[in-house]
Amino acid sequence: MKKLLTWLLLLSASLFFAHPVNADADTTANSEVFASIYRQGVSKGILTESNSSEAEFVKYCSTEAFPMYLKYVEVDPGTSFEQYVADENYFVSCNPNNDHPDTISADNSQSKGKGYSIFSSFIAAKSGYSMKAGDILVCHGTDSAGIFAGHAAFATSANYILEMPGPNRTVEHPSKESFFKKHTGKGKYVDVYRIKKHPHYADAASTYAYRHLYKNPKDRPKYGFQSGLYSMKDSYCSKYVYYAYYKVLPKGTLKTYNNWHIVHPFTFVGNFQGDFKASYLHQITSWK
């Protein structure tokens, strides 16, 4: 009996001390890992010197992305940092339709600003962007939960937007002015995507969200990650937009997933298929 108790104590101790080693392996990374992931992004044609140097990428991972990832795995356990970065499109603008719009600064002068993609059109929201219902807005430099590198919303008209700002809040319907003043300037910017060939469906998606997931306060989902991708018991920024399109688009035009998949702000616009692919129109850097 004494030997058995001794053996059980030793076994318990070994399990206790083994757990931190495994946890540490899953929750630590270094510049070599970040540099390796950067090279993966380059090999996929996503990262270039024009949108992020290796040094900039490694620094961002160290100071911003990896801390966000540690919060993210509390929601989506088992996801590697490498996969998280890929799901975040390596923290640069998604260009699913390979669009090449003109590059224009906020004051409408020709420019190719350092640190921004050469495939972007830099314009002021007030004077240069004619917003339409269904336009998908992906924000860089702001996030809704501290686990994503960005935030997503979409327009309901030329003047208003639907979004889920973050924890302890529900769906909100800010004006175009207040939204862009909040999400642009001081390094923040907003990518604009549009289902150009099917404006009727884009309008239908925003109308569905407004009527069924906003107009009646009782129908507004709370912010959260517990109910799965195809339930609106709770939601988050990019899921809210994805779900609205899912409800109105023809079958086969929007990629679908298992119920517990998380759609990330920076990559979910790549889920539109065929001639429903989202066109990358602008990168809004200021309100005016």
Reduce the DSSP state of residue 175 to 3 states and report it.
strand
The pLDDT value recorded for residue 29 is: 80
What confidence category does residue 143 fall into, taking pLDDT thresholds of 50, 70 and 90? confident
CA 284, CA 189: separation in Å to the nearest integer? 5
**Residue range 92-98: mean pLDDT, rounded:** 87
**Is it the case that residue 89 has pLDDT exceeding 80?**
yes
33-48, pLDDT tens digit by residue? 999 999 999 999 999 9
Mean pLDDT of the chain: 85
**Is it the case that residue 140 has pLDDT exceeding 50?**
yes
| Direct distance between the N- and C-terminal alpha carbons of the chain, in angstroms, rounded to an integer | 80
**Is it the case that residue 67 has pLDDT exceeding 90?**
yes
pTM: 0.84
The pLDDT value recorded for residue 110 is: 38
CB atoms < 10 A from the CB of 260, how many?
10
- Comparing 2-16, 128-142, 203-217, 263-277, the range with the smallest average pLDDT is 2-16
φ and ψ at residue 154, rounded to 5 degrees: -150, 155
CA 72, CA 27: separation in Å to the nearest integer? 11
Query: What CATH number has the domain spanning 122-286?
Result: 3.90.1720
237-266, pLDDT tens digit by residue? 999 999 999 999 999 999 999 999 999 999
Helices (H), the chain: 2-26, 31-43, 54-60, 66-75, 81-87, 125-128, 176-183, 199-213, 237-248
**Ranges of each domain in the chain:** 2-91, 122-286
CA angle (154 as vertex; 151, 160 as ends), nearest 5: 115
**Residue range 97-109: mean pLDDT, rounded:** 50
The pLDDT value recorded for residue 28 is: 75
What confidence category does residue 111 fall into, taking pLDDT thresholds of 50, 70 and 90? very low
- 127-to-132, 175, 177 alpha-carbon distances in Å: 14, 15, 11
Residue 115 or 165, more confident:
165
**Is it the case that residue 220 has pLDDT exceeding 50?**
yes
**Is it the case that residue 179 has pLDDT exceeding 60?**
yes
**Is it the case that residue 103 has pLDDT exceeding 70?**
no
Residue 284 or 172, more confident:
172
